[in-house]
Amino acid sequence: MRVVVIGAGSVGSHVAYRLQEQGADVILLDSSTPGAGTTASSIAMLNDFPQRAWDEEAGRAALRPRIHQLFHDLAAEVPGDYLHISGSLLWVSEEEEAEFARLREIARDRGVNVEEIDVATARELEPGVVFADRGPVYLETESGWVDGPAIVEALNARTTQLGGTVRQGARVVAIDRTAERVTGVTLDTGEKIEADAFVNAAGSWGSHVSALAGLAIPLELVPGTVVYTVPFGEGRAPKRIINTPGWCGRPDPSGGLAIHWRGHSQTARHGENIDDAEQMMADIAKVIPALAGTAPARSTIGIRPIPPGGPIIGALPWLSNFYLTLSHGGIGWGPMWGWCAANEMLHGETVPELTAMRPARFYLNPSQVGRHADDAEQQ
């Protein structure tokens, strides 16, 4: 089977690799440089706490416990320095302490290895971090982070070694289809590429790519800032993820920290954006004094694609060879969506956990907005 995958960020690269590894002939297209979009502007943390304790859709909740193992399996298959199991330290505001104590018990019942430690122990683990005098602090030893650009590079290199094709600067401007099938794509150069099946893994551009195929697939686009600190120097940087009430930071290959401002409680939307990187640095320096007086090394803004109602995985019944893999958390969920796509597209399986994630939900329950041109403004 010849498959065209549109979008070579984290999700598209995982899908392309897994399809190629399991027997497809893959052409992976990216309009720019693979991994240079939202993948390169992601905090990219792998945490089970508090995520595994959240109330979420049953299928997603069933798949989530397998994410870490998929990453470990991938690291054994695909060489590269991209997976970092560093552990994490989390503490919350005084107002949230009771809620997180409840979430910890739920997480532990679900198999998450999260330990409640006192502030003195936390200071011994990370002496360069100023923890609040009150507690507790939550230690999750099996959490970590992923180097987004590095994993995309490693996946694409392996896809190429297996006989697949990875093309950068290949922007899809048209999609050809009959009533029931997509037959090919046209690039901005005029080149046409035909295939047996197609995957929309275009991330924040996923609605546009879907529209080229005649589909109305909604995405909420939420910008998020990631600020990178200056390098700390040998042995001075925090070794673990530092997760505070207002922001979270993880080690970065540069020797500094990559920090995402959350603003308030830990939700899937990650709170609000701070006004500017300098304001963020001033707040961070209260917790990590070594950064006092330093300016950000750089900052980036990633456009997070957040589908209404959760991830969009699968094809529509009336367009079965156009498979969608669009979700928030594309680095963390990437291996899972690659596994799902390969099982469903190549082996004819149906992954039951994806039932609520199918794109047909946008057609079975259409939004009332859009009946008139000014409906959105009226709301």
Helices 330-347 + 10-21 axis angle, to 10: 30
Per-residue pLDDT of the chain (379 residues), as tens digits, is 999 999 999 999 999 999 999 999 999 999 999 999 999 999 999 999 999 999 999 999 999 999 999 999 999 999 999 999 999 999 988 898 999 999 999 999 999 999 999 999 999 999 999 998 887 999 999 999 999 999 999 999 999 999 999 999 999 999 999 999 999 999 999 999 999 999 999 999 999 999 999 999 999 998 888 999 999 988 788 999 999 988 899 999 999 999 988 655 444 445 555 567 787 888 889 999 999 999 999 989 899 999 999 999 999 999 999 999 999 999 999 999 999 999 999 999 999 999 999 999 999 765 554 454 454 444 4
Q: CA 330, CA 339: separation in Å to the nearest integer?
A: 13
Give pLDDT, residue 281.
86
Write b or e for each residue in 169-178: b if 16 or more Cβ atoms lie within 10 A of its Cβ, otherwise e: ebebeebebe
Q: CA 154, CA 295: separation in Å to the nearest integer?
A: 32
The DSSP bridge pattern shows strands 197-200 and 2-6 to be parallel
Q: CA 274, CA 345: separation in Å to the nearest integer?
A: 42
Residue for token pair 């693979």: 34
Architecture of domain 2-42+149-219+308-378: 3-Layer(bba) Sandwich (3.50)
Q: CA 28, CA 167: separation in Å to the nearest integer?
A: 6
Taking a C-beta distance cutoff of 8 angstroms, is the pair 357, 311 a contact?
Answer: yes
> pTM here?
0.93
Q: CA 182, CA 351: separation in Å to the nearest integer?
A: 23
Q: CA 49, CA 143: separation in Å to the nearest integer?
A: 9
Give pLDDT, residue 149.
97
Domain boundaries, the chain: 2-42+149-219+308-378, 85-144+221-305
Q: Which fold has domain 85-144+221-305?
A: D-Amino Acid Oxidase; Chain A, domain 2 (3.30.9)
